[in-house]
């Protein structure tokens, strides 16, 4: 039994049930759907069930009364004036003995509620109750317990739970509430550090919450890391769970977008022009080097000439010789000797001394082929000529007899039996030169002079490799 506050209950549209003699009706059926009826459990001199042992005269008054030394009586407290916001919202506060009532402002109030004098004593009930307090007779004239809680003839505060007892009832605080003064007040469980991360107090209970990236453990209090990677984290490529969060990463060749989730291809080719010797091709997550026709990739970035004559990719006939050069090949006639020259070996043509037409001609022509790349730095030694037979006292002179109209080459004599063909200017292919390199052999008496020619074909490739 807690407090003596007045009680207002809203119930369906019916009149109050019969009352025990100790109870006094204060209200009757009110018009409209709203039926209000109220009971003041404690009247002057009438004790509540739990207070029944208290002495008749005392200087300590029950709740709702205060001791008046002048009159030597307990005097009703006007809670409507002393309790701030005694009634919430639209309810109006009606003071009464030992308590107060909250009624809708529209409700009609029986004038008894306002009377200053004590209400008529409970004993004035017309039908004396033969049963003990808290019991009432049923049809069989036996005493049955009155459920004060369901009949709303209790004085539990709205914050309290009413529990019916045999012959009595009890007002208790719900779970999660404790009594402070007359009222049940929510316990702030969050003050007791029940939660690992965050605590949210709720009326009558509490709830633990976890920081983002964590979830409540099985005990509903501790927080455990969420593996976002298993929960559909929006990483486009790779996801790494970490304590409380996750990180997106990208595969090699991709970089993480500013949004932290998506990956975009890295254009490696834009980084450097030296990644590939010829052409860099960006691909998703990687790049590759390409080579021009006639070349193959060496390792990853270099281009190497394909020797079509070696690989058999050429289409030269039996009567032809395959000549490889940078980026391609050439089929040349095996016999390139032109009258009056006659072929004496694969590359060598001789002008027979017996033939009068050969008197002013080089006695032999030897065919040779070579290949250089474009844009070589100059001067560059490209070919060395060597006299094959050395005669005592003989002297050899070398010169470019034909094919050097633009002066792209010159001859540097090394000694009297050899010389070097030198590229004088940077040349760009594809192009080819046919140079006649002449070696003139004389003896010291100048009584002997012989000329032979090395017909050198120089292929200049299209590239610098």
What minimum distance in Å lies between the beta carbon of 399 and ligand NAG? Answer: 17
Count CB neighbours of 413 within 10 A: 14
Beta carbon nearer to ligand NAG, 172 or 418: 418
- Structural tokens at position 302: 């270099």
Min separation Cβ 444 and ligand NAG, Å: 6
Q: Shortest Cβ distance from residue 436 to ligand NAG (Å)?
A: 23
Q: Residue 95: which of 159, 6, 24 has the closest Cα?
A: 6
CB of 419 to ligand NAG, least distance (A): 13
DSSP-derived pairing of the beta strands 431-443 and 418-423: unpaired
Residues 228, 213: contact at Cβ < 8 Å? yes
Cβ closest to ligand NAG, residue 412 vs residue 425:
412
Residues 6+ apart with CB under 8 A from 141: none
Nearest distance in Å: CB 395, ligand NAG:
4
CB of 217 to ligand NAG, least distance (A): 9
Contacts of range 398-403, beta carbons closer than 8 Å, 24 or more positions apart:
398/437, 398/438, 398/439, 398/440, 399/437, 399/438, 399/440, 400/435, 400/436, 400/437, 400/438, 401/436, 401/437, 401/438, 401/453, 402/434, 402/435, 402/436, 403/433, 403/434, 403/435, 403/436
Using the minimum distance from each CB to ligand NAG, give the nearer residue, 89 or 392.
392
Distance from C-alpha of 380 to C-alpha of 408, rounded to nearest angstrom: 11
Nearer to ligand NAG among residue 207 and residue 314 (C-beta): 207
Residue nearer to ligand NAG on the CB measure, 72 or 389: 389
Instruction: List the end-to-end C-alpha distance of the chain, in Å, as a whole number.
Output: 106
CB of 393 to ligand NAG, least distance (A): 6
**CA dist., res. 131 & res. 31, Å (int):** 33
Location of structure tokens 């306002």: 114
Which residues, 6 or more positions from 18, have their beta carbon under 8 angstroms from its beta carbon?
127, 136
Closest separation between CB of residue 219 and ligand NAG, Å? 5
Residue number, 320 or 416, with CB nearest to ligand NAG: 416
**Residue with Cβ nearer ligand NAG (357 or 390):** 390
β-partners of residue 462 are none
Which is nearer to ligand NAG, 358 or 414 (by Cβ)? 414
Cβ-based nearer residue to ligand NAG, 335 or 413: 413
> Percentages helix, strand, coil for the chain, rounded to the nearest 5?
5, 40, 55
What is the smallest separation between the CB atom of 442 and ligand NAG, expressed in angstroms? 9
How are beta strands 143-145 and 161-165 bridged, if at all? Answer: unpaired
Cα–Cα distance, 253 to 92 (Å, whole number): 76
Tell me the three state secondary structure of residue 74.
Answer: strand
Query: Which residue number, 132 or 218, has a Cβ lying nearer to ligand NAG?
Result: 218
- With tokens 């506060």, the residue in question is 93
Alpha carbon 2 to its chain centroid, in Å, reads 57
| Residues found near ligand NAG in the complex (CB under 6 A) | 218-220, 393, 395, 416, 444
CB-wise, 194 or 465, nearer to ligand NAG? 194
The least distance separating ligand NAG from the CB of residue 347, rounded to whole angstroms, comes to 26
- Minimal distance, residue 394 CB to ligand NAG, in Å: 7
Distance CA 443, CA 421 (A): 24
Nearer to ligand NAG, 124 or 415 (CB): 415
The rounded distance, in Å, linking the Cα atoms of 151 and 353 is: 150
Provide, rounded to whole angstroms, the least separation between the CB of residue 389 and ligand NAG. 12
């Amino acid at each position: 039994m807690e407090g003596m506050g007045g009680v207002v209950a809203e119930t369906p549209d019916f009149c109050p049930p019969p009352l025990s003699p100790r109870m006094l009706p204060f209200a009757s059926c009110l018009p409209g759907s709203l039926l209000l009826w109220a009971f003041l459990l404690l009247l002057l001199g009438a004790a509540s069930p739990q207070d029944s042992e208290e002495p008749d005269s005392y200087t300590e008054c029950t709740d709702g009364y205060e001791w008046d030394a002048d009159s030597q009586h307990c005097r009703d407290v006007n809670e409507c004036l002393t309790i701030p916001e005694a009634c919430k919202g639209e309810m109006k506060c009606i003071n009464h003995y030992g308590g107060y009532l909250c009624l809708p402002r529209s409700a009609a109030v029986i004038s008894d509620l306002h009377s200053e004098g004590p209400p008529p004593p409970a004993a004035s009930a017309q039908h004396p109750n033969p049963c003990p307090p808290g019991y009432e007779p049923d049809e069989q004239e036996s005493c049955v317990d009155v459920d004060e809680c369901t009949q709303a003839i209790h004085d539990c505060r709205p914050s309290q739970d009413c529990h019916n007892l045999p012959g009595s009832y009890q007002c208790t605080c719900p779970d999660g509430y404790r009594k402070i003064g007359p009222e049940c007040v929510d316990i702030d469980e969050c003050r007791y550090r029940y939660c690992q991360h965050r605590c949210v107090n709720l009326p009558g209970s509490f709830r633990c919450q976890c920081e983002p990236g964590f979830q409540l453990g099985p005990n509903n209090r501790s927080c455990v890391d969420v593996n976002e990677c298993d929960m559909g984290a929006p990483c486009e490529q790779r996801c790494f769970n970490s304590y409380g969060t996750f990180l997106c990463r990208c595969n090699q060749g991709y970089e993480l977008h500013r949004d932290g989730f998506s990956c975009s291809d890295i254009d490696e080719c834009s980084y450097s022009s030296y990644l590939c010797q010829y052409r860099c091709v960006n691909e998703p997550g990687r790049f590759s080097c390409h080579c021009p026709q006639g070349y193959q990739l060496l390792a990853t970035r270099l281009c190497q000439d394909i020797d079509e004559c070696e690989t058999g990719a050429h289409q030269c006939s039996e009567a032809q010789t395959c000549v490889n050069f940078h980026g391609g090949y050439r089929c040349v006639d095996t016999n390139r000797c032109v009258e009056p020259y006659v072929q004496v070996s694969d590359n060598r043509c001789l002008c027979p001394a017996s033939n009068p037409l050969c008197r002013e001609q080089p006695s032999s022509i030897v065919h040779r082929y070579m290949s250089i790349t474009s844009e070589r730095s100059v001067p560059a030694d490209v070919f060395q000529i060597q006299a094959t037979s050395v005669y005592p006292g003989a002297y050899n002179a070398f010169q470019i007899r034909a094919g050097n109209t633009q002066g792209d080459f010159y001859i540097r004599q090394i000694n009297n039996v050899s010389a070097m063909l030198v590229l004088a200017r940077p040349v760009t292919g594809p192009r080819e030169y046919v140079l006649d390199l002449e070696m003139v052999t004389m003896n010291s008496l100048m009584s002997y002079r012989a000329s032979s020619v090395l017909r050198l074909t120089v292929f200049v490739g299209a590239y610098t490799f």
